Structure 1
Amino acid sequence: MEPPAKKLRPYVTKFQRRKAEEIEGKTGSEANNVNHNESEERNDVKELFISDETVLDYDDRVYRSVLPRKVARASRISKSPVWCLRWCPKFSHLLSTCSDDAVKLYDVMKNEKIKLVRTLHHSSPVKHCDWSRSSRQLLTSTFSGNVNVFDFLNQGTISNKLKVDEQLSVGKWWKGDDNMVLLGGENSFLASFDMRTGKEACKYKFKSGKILSFDFLSGSTSFIASSDLVNRQSAEHNLIVWDLRTGAKLSSQIYHERYTCPYVVVHPSGANILAQTTGNYIARFSSQKPYRLDKFVRYQNHTVNQYPVAFDTTKDGHFVISGSSNGTVVCYKHNNGNYMRTVPLLVKDEVSCVDVQCHPVIPGMVAVGDWDGTLHVLT
């Protein structure tokens, strides 16, 4: 019986061995002083990009929308309103922004309870946030006018910054370009910036009050923005369609009723624009010029009562799911506006829903943030 063959090792010179020993001695002494919290944060960042088995399972299926039936999980995450919720498009975590100077990421899939995975601290309260297409970069906009880009390919550190002179209320990446951002805020501030250079790419000039919400139309060459400017003579300027690259105003004669629209969403099909109104209903408009109001379809079984109540559509666009100021979530059918179902939240008093976000992969899973600082997950 022949003896096993010896493993061949490459020849290392004395100079290389001495140099390797010196490097190991330095790194060994530094490794003992490494903060344990930093290693935990690195592990947390890695866990953010591990999809849950349930998400992977549904990702392979054909999406068929299902309405939520009950509150599966709920957790008080802040003493202030939950302004913005965003599901990560490709992974299993959820992002929230409140008025406590922090952006928090939660894992709601791998545990029975809502688990806090990571906290991103800011110098001022964060009003809005948005994921990039790759789900590796996060855009946050604050009340103090700071715009931060967190890069999770580099342990979640800030990779880019931008400062504007106005208080920001909403900020999003351009669709199809993760180098460009669109920002809106107080005093009619509405502009797009190139994050690579930090310079303003285009400004959309108009006296429209505070920008409340905007969304991109199909083709990503234009967008619709809503503001809080409603006067006694005319309410035609609260919804405006802009050309994204030139800054030209395409239409302002869209919505003539004297209600503000705290939230606007372009339907996944691209055929319609949906706008939440303070008249206690969601209005529907055509996404083609002249952007006519659909007078035959209204979603009107919920209340708003001057709160910034948001809503969302399912991935296939079959259902519209809206929050309500009385502490419920109301579901509608998109094509005809028919009322489908009401899901009450687990709250003692009637607390307004501030944001509603449908899961991009799992049917029937909806995240809801309320005015009292509670995060609800519906299934």
Structure 2
Amino acid sequence: MDLLCNAYSNASDYDEEPPKRHRVCTLPKRHLHFASPPSLLDHQIPGRYVSKRQRTLMAQTPAPPPPQPLPLPSPFTLSGSLSDADIPHNILSLLKCKANGHQRPNLMSEKLSATLQGHTKAVNAIHWSPTHAHLLASAGMDHMVCIWNVWSKNQKKACVLNFHNAAVKDVKWSKQGHFLLSCGYDCTSRLIDVEKGVESQVLREDQIVGVMKFHPDNSNLFLSGGSKGHIKLWDVRTGKAVHNYNRNLGPILDVEFIMDGKEFISSSDVAQSNISENAIIVWDVLRQVPLSNQVFTMILLNQVYAEAFTCPCVRRHPFDSAFVAQSNGNYVAIFTTTPPYRLNKYKRYESHRVSGFPIKCNFSLDGKKLASGSSDGSIYLYDYQSAKVVKKIKAHDEACIDVAFHPVIPNVIASCSWDGSILVFE
């Protein structure tokens, strides 16, 4: 019997079925219903008999394909049109009129013209295009920059830019056509060709970039200010900072060119720097070499604001030698733009509320009105000369962060809110 057993145990691989002696299962019968297909069981039980046919079938089974990576969302989504082709004729005729704002009638924004919905979080900044005045750009905490064709009869959201991978703090149109500059929490400033949907430059810093401003006479230059108190002058043609302005400041909240771009104002967070005289500083930008080289140097001129309030916004007057600063003391202060940069202690714009929000303000085209957002969601319109409130517009349910007068039509004003909404009044 032992010889017979040994003979059967060495059966040839060419047998199609294993010997009956090996088909006897020693497991309890209650386990029989768990039996797997032969090919799977062959891999689970060492020494299991595998016929030649089974081995051939197993060798022919193709390996599963590697998992495919998920497609990345496009950074540029065109959902409407950037053209002014479908804008109503009466609006289009106003947009094409090149008369200066201060030569227009003194009109007042009254009725709601458009509600722009698309951001899912707070909107930090808005800016009208100076060259294509039917377009409005917005920067949101949802990482998006949206371009709005405000008076379009069809889709008002023209396109969405998702080039940033963190919240976007500021956005500015260039005077050179469809170019848009944006910055944010991803420590970058990005110049985008909106017409082509591509990035022209990505300028990286070692700080959160909170604010930018193009030079008034040269759109190749812009200032940036960030969370570490550094201010840089950039040249978009080279993608490099041509000068740094550092003075151990708190986070930079705003910058503004004055004196035809020969000087600029910076506002910094005094709560973090704990030095109130650093709240507002005027810097002198002196040209050292021919303009084509874009090399400038900086000389500190003066500290002009000694109150211990943070100023989230500074704006120059379009015609007068003056600039204003939004204060967390719930008022807008006014200063001269000529040395010694005096604060007007007898005139301030106060009725709105700031309440710690980064509330911005702006002048009208003719310089006769000053508009400010407010933490109560309203837009406050002040008479520039008397500092009195001439109109209050209840706009948003949450804080109104930014207001922007239209660059051509004097009675049009846009606003954005902490609730993610954007409104246009005319």
* TM-score normalised by structure 1 residue count: 0.82
The alpha-carbon deviation at position 270 of structure 1 amounts to 4.3
The alpha-carbon deviation at position 52 of structure 1 amounts to 6.4
Going from structure 1 to structure 2, the CA distance change for 1:295 and 1:51 (only over 3 Å counts) comes to farther
Q: Is 1:97 aligned to residue 139 of structure 2? A: yes
CA distance in 1 between counterparts of 2:220 and 2:137 reads: 21
Amino acid at match of 2:245: Y
1:26 — aligned with what?
none
Asked if structure 1 preserves the Cα contact closer than 8 Å seen for 2:135 and 2:148, the reply is: yes
Going from structure 1 to structure 2, the CA distance change for 1:52 and 1:246 (only over 3 Å counts) comes to farther
Amino acid at match of 1:98: G
The alpha-carbon deviation at position 310 of structure 1 amounts to 0.8
Q: Which runs of 5+ in 1 are unaligned?
A: 1-36
Structure whose CA Rg is larger:
2
CA distance in 1 between counterparts of 2:190 and 2:121 reads: 22
Amino acid at match of 1:247: M
The alpha-carbon deviation at position 80 of structure 1 amounts to 1.6
The alpha-carbon deviation at position 77 of structure 1 amounts to 2.6
Going from structure 1 to structure 2, the CA distance change for 1:184 and 1:231 (only over 3 Å counts) comes to closer
Asked if structure 1 preserves the Cα contact closer than 8 Å seen for 2:330 and 2:350, the reply is: yes
Correspondent of 1:73 among 114, 120, 141: 114
Q: Is 1:246 aligned to residue 297 of structure 2? A: yes
Asked if structure 1 preserves the Cα contact closer than 8 Å seen for 2:80 and 2:159, the reply is: no
The farther-off stretch of 225-234 and 90-99 is 225-234
Q: Is 1:150 aligned to residue 197 of structure 2? A: no
What per-residue deviation string (whole Å, max 9, x for no partner) do you get for residues 140-178 of structure 1?
A: 11211122111245x131122211111100122222112
Q: How does 1:1-379 map to 2 (within 5 A)?
A: 41=78, 44-45=81-82, 47=83, 53=89, 54-57=91-94, 59-61=97-99, 62-91=103-132, 92-111=134-153, 115-122=156-163, 123-152=165-194, 155-230=196-271, 234-244=275-285, 245-252=296-303, 254-345=304-395, 347=397, 351-379=398-426
Amino acid at match of 1:364: N
The alpha-carbon deviation at position 110 of structure 1 amounts to 2.5
Going from structure 1 to structure 2, the CA distance change for 1:55 and 1:229 (only over 3 Å counts) comes to farther
The alpha-carbon deviation at position 284 of structure 1 amounts to 0.3
CA distance in 2 between counterparts of 1:232 and 1:188 reads: 9
Amino acid at match of 1:257: E
Asked if structure 2 preserves the Cα contact closer than 8 Å seen for 1:216 and 1:222, the reply is: yes
Amino acid at match of 2:357: Y
CA distance in 2 between counterparts of 1:88 and 1:150 reads: 14
CA distance in 2 between counterparts of 1:251 and 1:84 reads: 29
Going from structure 1 to structure 2, the CA distance change for 1:262 and 1:42 (only over 3 Å counts) comes to closer
CA distance in 1 between counterparts of 2:238 and 2:312 reads: 31
Q: Which runs of 5+ in 2 are unaligned?
A: 1-73, 286-295
Going from structure 1 to structure 2, the CA distance change for 1:109 and 1:129 (only over 3 Å counts) comes to same
SS of 2:138's equivalent in the other structure is strand
Paired residues in the alignment total 335
What per-residue deviation string (whole Å, max 9, x for no partner) do you get for residues 17-37 of structure 1?
A: xxxxxxxxxxxxxxxxxxxx9
CA distance in 2 between counterparts of 1:166 and 1:137 reads: 24
Amino acid at match of 1:177: N
* TM-score normalised by structure 2 residue count: 0.74
SS of 1:44's equivalent in the other structure is coil
Asked if structure 2 preserves the Cα contact closer than 8 Å seen for 1:218 and 1:270, the reply is: no
The alpha-carbon deviation at position 136 of structure 1 amounts to 2.3
Going from structure 1 to structure 2, the CA distance change for 1:223 and 1:50 (only over 3 Å counts) comes to farther
Going from structure 1 to structure 2, the CA distance change for 1:233 and 1:82 (only over 3 Å counts) comes to closer
CA distance in 1 between counterparts of 2:238 and 2:184 reads: 20
The alpha-carbon deviation at position 230 of structure 1 amounts to 4.2
CA distance in 2 between counterparts of 1:296 and 1:150 reads: 44
CA distance in 1 between counterparts of 2:399 and 2:269 reads: 19
2:67 — aligned with what?
none
Q: Identity across aligned pairs (percent)?
A: 29
SS of 2:261's equivalent in the other structure is coil
SS of 2:297's equivalent in the other structure is coil
SS of 1:178's equivalent in the other structure is coil
Going from structure 1 to structure 2, the CA distance change for 1:325 and 1:86 (only over 3 Å counts) comes to same
Going from structure 1 to structure 2, the CA distance change for 1:233 and 1:105 (only over 3 Å counts) comes to closer
Asked if structure 2 preserves the Cα contact closer than 8 Å seen for 1:230 and 1:237, the reply is: no
Higher relative contact order (CA 8 A, sep 6+): 1
CA distance in 1 between counterparts of 2:86 and 2:245 reads: 40
The farther-off stretch of 286-295 and 159-168 is 159-168
The alpha-carbon deviation at position 90 of structure 1 amounts to 2.3
SS of 1:57's equivalent in the other structure is helix
Going from structure 1 to structure 2, the CA distance change for 1:60 and 1:202 (only over 3 Å counts) comes to closer
2:6 — aligned with what?
none
